[in-house]
Structure 1
Amino acid sequence: MTRLLRYPTVDELGTRAADLAARHPRDVRLRRVGTSRAGTPLWLLSVGRGGRQVLVVAGPHANEPVGGATVLRLAERALADPRLTEGADATWNLLLCLDPDGLRRNEGWLTGPYTLGRYFRNFFRPGFLEQPEWLPDGAAAAALPETRALLRLQDELRPVLQCSLHGVDVGGGFVELTRDLPGIARRLAHAAARLGVPRELGAYDALYWPGLGPAVYRIPPPRRGDLTAAITEAAVESTWFHPHRHGTVTAVVEAPMWGVAAVADGSPPADAEATLRTVSGTLRHDTALLRHLLALVRPHLAAAPDAARLLAPVDDYLLVCPRLADAWDPDAGAAARRPLPPLSTARLAALRIAGRRLALRTAGLLHQLVRHAGHDPAGVLPELDRLIDAWCADYRDGCAARWIPVARQCEYQTRVVLAAFELAARGPHPWSRSGEPGWGCGAAVPMHRE
């Protein structure tokens, strides 16, 4: 295996998958299962010919590229060890990227150098309604061709396990499950410890979800709600739950880019209410600044290339920020607040990171809007640069965010996926050695360092 120094691009994913298929025609198939909105093929790489189908979906979020590296590594692992295919009666179906158009928009930072400022100034993630994992109006009304392709694939394969590969920009690693996989928390802990990845013990994404173990959360069944609830709580139907009818368990596997040790600190906080007041007050202050800058910029964007697509996530973020600030503020009225779960140092750190993330993403998208327009008549770029630099410094110095090399992100995610497969397939399997942890926690997996 080549040393993994950076994330693969859309074109590199396709080229490397085609090369694997050409070199291993008996064991590997590559087929087109759909087409993106911009006409990019959606490629499925299948390894093995067993009856148990595993579906691994990379790139559901445009700014989370680690999954592409992970599916290529999974393909290589499955080819190298028949215990993962023939020995388990399994076929590994690896969707190289669910949102290739969005991934292309991240190529300004994708290949490095990896700094927080470069990432947020070139960050792209579409608005909520253009993210292909979500089914806000149900599967029958799925509008995006990428979504429809994934739904067809799920109904064709009826997988025993589906893994959706995600990346946390700042924070720690965790897993979200539609069904419990007893033992996954121990495997995750082992992989995280071996690879120096902090476990996120109070993930913002799962703030109101039940825990199944440290850094493992149960995804609740979808429910109807307003758009802000859908965006902040994943409270709508999704492609995570669509294959539930086939007996599929879905594991959403999150791997961090910049790790923060505090998200793994389960100790009681010194003064939770003071921290919440600071976090909510900061979010309100930052939101007001960003709304002002947006008001200055918006009148000049009519002719800017792709302004609508960049404005959609900006509007999403500015819609949810006030609601979140109220939800986290201990002084907000009862009508504005939903009771928070028990608070630990880890959970408070996750909320601080989440609030800062919303502001940074918004500022980064506004920065791109002005750059794409080709001029800055409102004179906002210096202020946006100042805010982005200050907020990135807060991540780096205030939260002690540290870059995790791509190879370690990928290896961590690979080990968690393999652990989930072992547990979902149930029973003893030949790839687990007697007296040793299985592939999932990496006891038999060589570590590829940068």
Structure 2
Amino acid sequence: MRELGAHAAALAARRPGEVRLRRVGTSRQGAPLLLLSVGHGSRQALVVAGPHANEPVGGATALRLAERALADPRLTEGADATWNLLLCLDPDGSRRNETWLTGPYTLGRYFRHFFRPGFLEQPEWLPEGAAGAVLPETRALLDLQDELRPFLQCSLHGVDVGGAFVELTRDLPGLAQRVAHSAARLGIPRELGPFDTLYWPALGPAVYRVPPPDTGDLAAAITEAAVESTWFHPRPHGTVTAIVEAPMWGVDAVEDPTRPADPDALLRPVGHTLRRDTERLAGILARVRPRLRDTPGAGRLLAPVDDYLLVGPGIADSWDPDAHVPGARALPLLDTARLTALRLAGRRLALRTAGLLHQLVTASGRDPDGVLPELDRLIDAWCADYRVGCGAYWIPVARQVEYQARVVLAAFDLAGRPTRPHPPADRPARHATPRPEPVRRD
């Protein structure tokens, strides 16, 4: 976090007439929330990096966008625009991920040091509405949105394992083609059926529309963002929000549109596996929880563990063709892309929970039941399933950043254009398939 601030300060010092750096808020633990602004146009673009603590790519993307805006007057004076780049919305949570950020970038290291706060401590969400927002990070972002009234807001997210996709609060015709081009050029798979957007309308391949907020139970909110959010808060100002997801580890099958002969046969073990893994992890938590009362910081680690264990069984039932859950929504057409995304999501819930439990037991300084070796075996086996069973491969940070920056620039371009007729999502416009640049799967 200090490195991001130092780079931004150096940029402001180098180009003081065009770049400003200011503090727009303070985190719960006293860290500054820094806004880097480039240009002096009347039209405001807002880019929010680091809304989720375990998704660090956005900070580097924000700095790259600042450099692009400085280098290309068409992005500032030519568009009558100012770029406002919030370098990190959750600096406290992001700091807790710094252990794995030093590398090496392996799945085991990532999940053993993974941190993401519980749902109620994630600053983009407004479960009690804007008026009831209590986190200082959330209040700072809401105030910034009301001050700037941006025509475009981009929230920069990362997918730990899977592919790239974009979520929009309203359509930007042409964005799906831009996403396809950028992803192909950089060797990044697009996710054609993400778990996050399982029941959301598609606006084109790997581009989805976020439904308007709807109050529901906590489990639905955790898994579907079915609450008010800072994505929709500036909508009365005419803002379109783009949530830009860039993967850290790619899996090519998430963009495979082929339909298996018997999708239920492939889906059934995904639900069964998640149910079994959740029960096993709940049993481990029950054994160690009594000894965690005096462990410093245990509450912040237990909150997401409880969230994941809360939603796991319900998700497993909704995926199980044999479960017949009353009132459950029917799953969409299950092609290979969606089946792969569900498999990745089930593993993600289990691995995040196991990694947080590993940290809790380690922090307690005692392990009389031998839980740590058991958790190590589970983490190693589940990470191996990602690598071997799903073919997960690391995407170098430079490519993650470049992809995300290109998509933001495409959204910036399209958000300033008048709405034009466009083909429906199930009949995408024909366009030339770009020639991929040579990439290394390292």
**Aligned counterparts of 1:208 and 1:296: Cα–Cα separation in 2:** 36
**Aligned counterparts of 1:442 and 1:74: Cα–Cα separation in 2:** 23
Look up the match of 1:367.
Answer: 358
Matched residue type, 2:100 = W
Per-residue deviation, 1:111:
2.3
Matched, 1:377 2:365: no
Per-residue deviation, 1:334:
4.0
SS of 1:381's partner is: helix
**Aligned counterparts of 1:258 and 1:273: Cα–Cα separation in 2:** 27
Matches within 5 A, 1:31-70: 31-70=22-61
Q: 1:225 aligns with which of 216, 233, 243?
A: 216
Per-residue deviation, 1:142:
0.1
**Aligned counterparts of 1:426 and 1:374: Cα–Cα separation in 2:** 58
Matched, 1:84 2:75: yes
SS of 1:44's partner is: strand
SS of 2:44's partner is: strand
**Aligned counterparts of 1:377 and 1:180: Cα–Cα separation in 2:** 55
**Aligned counterparts of 2:129 and 2:327: Cα–Cα separation in 1:** 28
**Aligned counterparts of 2:127 and 2:9: Cα–Cα separation in 1:** 34
Q: 1:150 aligns with which of 141, 147, 160?
A: 141
CA deviation map 1:70-104 (0-9, x unaligned) = 00000000111111101111100000000000000
TM-score (norm 2): 0.94
Q: 1:420 aligns with which of 390, 411, 417?
A: 411
SS of 2:257's partner is: coil
**Aligned counterparts of 2:375 and 2:261: Cα–Cα separation in 1:** 34
Contact 2:184/2:434 (<8 A) preserved: no
SS of 1:242's partner is: coil
Moved over 4 A (4+): none
Matches within 5 A, 1:273-312: 273-312=264-303
Per-residue deviation, 1:377:
2.2
Look up the match of 1:409.
Answer: 400
Per-residue deviation, 1:19:
0.4
Alignment CA distance shift 1:337-1:162 (3 Å): same
Matches within 5 A, 1:196-235: 196-235=187-226
SS of 2:234's partner is: helix
Per-residue deviation, 1:337:
2.8
**Aligned counterparts of 1:158 and 1:272: Cα–Cα separation in 2:** 46
Identity of aligned residues (%): 77
Per-residue deviation, 1:302:
1.1
Per-residue deviation, 1:117:
0.1
Matched residue type, 1:351 = L
**Does 369-378 or 273-282 show the bigger shift?**
369-378
Look up the match of 1:183.
Answer: 174
Contact 2:318/2:325 (<8 A) preserved: no
Look up the match of 2:427.
Answer: none
Matched, 1:12 2:7: no
Look up the match of 2:229.
Answer: 238
CA deviation map 1:213-265 (0-9, x unaligned) = 00000000000100001011110000000000000000000000000000010
Matches within 5 A, 1:115-154: 115-154=106-145
Q: 1:337 aligns with which of 306, 328, 334?
A: 328
Matched residue type, 2:344 = I
CA deviation map 1:306-332 (0-9, x unaligned) = 001000000000000000001111111
**Aligned counterparts of 1:351 and 1:150: Cα–Cα separation in 2:** 32
CA deviation map 1:405-425 (0-9, x unaligned) = 000000000000000000001
Alignment CA distance shift 1:151-1:261 (3 Å): same
Number of aligned residue pairs: 425
Per-residue deviation, 1:281:
0.2
Look up the match of 2:430.
Answer: none
**Aligned counterparts of 1:288 and 1:135: Cα–Cα separation in 2:** 30
Segments of 5+ residues of structure 1 without an aligned counterpart are 1-9, 429-440
Look up the match of 1:352.
Answer: 343
Per-residue deviation, 1:357:
0.2
Per-residue deviation, 1:395:
0.2
**Aligned counterparts of 1:422 and 1:442: Cα–Cα separation in 2:** 20
Segments of 5+ residues of structure 2 without an aligned counterpart are 420-432
Look up the match of 1:108.
Answer: 99
Contact 1:300/1:377 (<8 A) preserved: no
Q: 2:62 aligns with which of 59, 71, 75?
A: 71
Per-residue deviation, 1:442:
11
Matched residue type, 2:378 = L
CA deviation map 1:16-66 (0-9, x unaligned) = 000000101000000000000000000000000001100000000000000
Alignment CA distance shift 1:407-1:442 (3 Å): farther
SS of 1:257's partner is: strand
TM-score (norm 1): 0.93
Matched residue type, 1:149 = A
**Aligned counterparts of 1:442 and 1:263: Cα–Cα separation in 2:** 19
Per-residue deviation, 1:174:
0.2
Contact 2:317/2:325 (<8 A) preserved: no
Per-residue deviation, 1:336:
6.0
SS of 2:226's partner is: coil
SS of 1:409's partner is: helix
